[in-house]
């Protein structure tokens, strides 16, 4: 079999024409699929009038107004009052004044973005830590009812978030966890740990048991062997799992909108609420969206090879 597979030019190698046609169709699809994202970025560097002009403007003078509006709150003032102010101190100040407004203070964007960071990283750390331990437990020991437990862990993901949100909402209100970062971290950890256990069990299953056995013959305890031998071997799997947990916690909306309202609110429920004068301030929304998407774009590029394992719960081994 291997001799067949390793032939340089197998019989089924597509012809150059087939390859070229396939390439053209896929590239066209990729370009069309990127239009909405390109549009988000373009809108973020438009002025509000340019963003809503018709026909949609492809050529325009870029401005940082959207980003300034995203980061600040502004109040309208009379031109006389603005004249009386000392000279503008920066680009944002200048842009704001040219619209007959002055900056009143910072907006909530960075605090919400910060909440997203704290909650996403906190829950990822916990989910991956707990998941690694449990995955090792399921992988190496004969746990009673292991298959049932694993299925139970998986089935917790079938519940619509809104359905568990009702009792969680009541429970959190009781324990003072509503609208706290801790509450959200625990919640996202619980949601992510099922993914983490399933993914990591697949990775740990592939590390030969002989490595630990050898270490234990050398006098290591089981815990010591786990720490010194298994963990370093599982690093790639742990990293891939972490990125998946991170993406989920970063993007989650349903729990966030129901269980947080103020101090612990994350960015996904916040961004749609950015309002300018007379409706949604699209350049500011686009700026907020662009900044929010950047970490995920970076992750996608770093992680593309491990993606498959993650999205299929490790059900596809390849």
Partner 1 sequence: MLARSTPTTIAARVRGLSDRAIAWLFITPTIALLLAINIFPLIWAVYLSFTNFRANRPNAEVVGVGLRNYQRVLNDPDIWIAMQTTAHFVFWTILFQTVIGFALAYLIDRKFRGHAFWTTVILIPMMLSPAVVGNFWRFLYQPQIGLFNYIVSFFSGIPPSSFEMLGSVTLAPWAIIVVDTWMWTPYVMLICLAGLRSIPDYIYEAAEVDRASAWRQFWSITVPMALPFIMLAVLFRGIENFKMFDMVMLLTGGGPGSTTEVASITLKREAFESWLTGRSSAFAIILFVAVFGLANIYVKALNKVKQR
269-298: which residues touch partner 1 (CB under 8 A)?
269, 271-272, 280, 282, 285-286, 289, 292-293, 296-297
Residue closer to partner 1 by CB (options 45, 197) is 197
Contact code string over 54-93 relative to partner 1, x by CB under 8 A: xxx-------------------------------------
Least separation in angstroms between residue 293's CB and partner 1 is 6
- Nearest CA to 241 out of 201, 200, 285 is that of 200
Paired tokens of 198: 């399933």
Q: What is the DSSP letter of 227?
A: I
Check if the beta carbon of residue 113 is closer than 8 Å to that of residue 291: yes
Binding mask 12-51 vs partner 1 (x if CB under 8 A, - otherwise)? x-x---xxx-xx-xxx-xx--xxxxx-xx--x-------x
Q: What is the dihedral of CA 139, 140, 143, 146, to 10 degrees?
A: 20
Q: Hey, which residues between 243 and 272 contact partner 1 (CB under 8 A)? A: 247, 250-254, 257-258, 267-269, 271-272
The helix/strand/coil state of 308 is helix
Question: CB under 8 A: which stretch of 68-76, 79-87, 105-113, 307-315 binds partner 1?
Answer: 307-315
- Please identify which residue in 130, 180, 205, 231 interacts with partner 1, judged by CB under 8 A: 130
Which residues in 267-302 are b (16+ Cβ under 10 Å) and which e?
Answer: bbbbbeebeeeeeebbbbbbbbbbbbbebeeebeee
Q: Which of residues 159-218 bind partner 1 (CB under 8 A)?
A: 159-171, 186-187, 189-190, 193-194, 197, 209-210, 212-213, 216-217
Distance of CA 217 to the CA centre of its chain: 43
Question: Per rule CB under 8 A, is residue 118 in the interface with partner 1?
Answer: no
């Amino acid at each position: 079999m291997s001799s067949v597979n390793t032939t340089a030019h197998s019989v089924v190698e597509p012809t150059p024409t087939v390859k070229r046609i396939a390439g053209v169709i896929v590239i066209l699809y990729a370009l069309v699929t990127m239009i909405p994202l390109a549009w988000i970025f373009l809108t973020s560097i438009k002025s509000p009038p340019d963003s809503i002009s018709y026909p949609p403007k492809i050529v325009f003078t870029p401005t940082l107004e959207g980003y300034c509006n995203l980061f600040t709150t502004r109040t309208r003032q009379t031109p006389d009052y603005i004249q009386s102010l000392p000279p503008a101190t920066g680009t944002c100040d200048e842009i704001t004044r040219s619209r007959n407004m002055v900056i009143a203070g910072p907006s909530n964007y960075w605090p919400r973005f910060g909440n997203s960071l704290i909650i996403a990283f906190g829950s990822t750390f916990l989910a991956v830590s707990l998941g690694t331990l449990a995955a090792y437990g399921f992988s190496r020991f004969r746990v009673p009812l292991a298959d049932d437990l694993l299925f139970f862990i998986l089935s917790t993901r079938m519940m619509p978030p809104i359905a568990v949100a009702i009792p969680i909402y009541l429970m959190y209100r009781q324990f003072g966890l509503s609208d706290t970062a801790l509450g959200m971290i625990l919640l996202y950890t619980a949601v992510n740990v099922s993914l983490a256990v399933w993914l990591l069990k697949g990775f740990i299953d592939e590390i030969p048991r002989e490595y630990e056995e050898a270490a234990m013959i050398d006098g290591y305890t089981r815990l010591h062997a786990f720490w010194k031998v298994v963990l370093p071997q599982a690093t790639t799997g742990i990293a891939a799992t972490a990125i998946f947990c991170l993406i989920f916690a970063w993007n989650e909306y349903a729990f966030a909108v129901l269980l947080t309202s103020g101090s612990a609110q994350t960015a996904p429920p916040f961004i749609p609420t950015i309002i300018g004068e007379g409706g949604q301030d699209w350049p500011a929304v686009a700026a907020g969206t662009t900044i929010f998407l950047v970490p995920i774009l970076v992750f996608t590029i770093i992680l593309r090879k491990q993606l498959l394992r993650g999205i299929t719960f490790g059900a596809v081994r390849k």
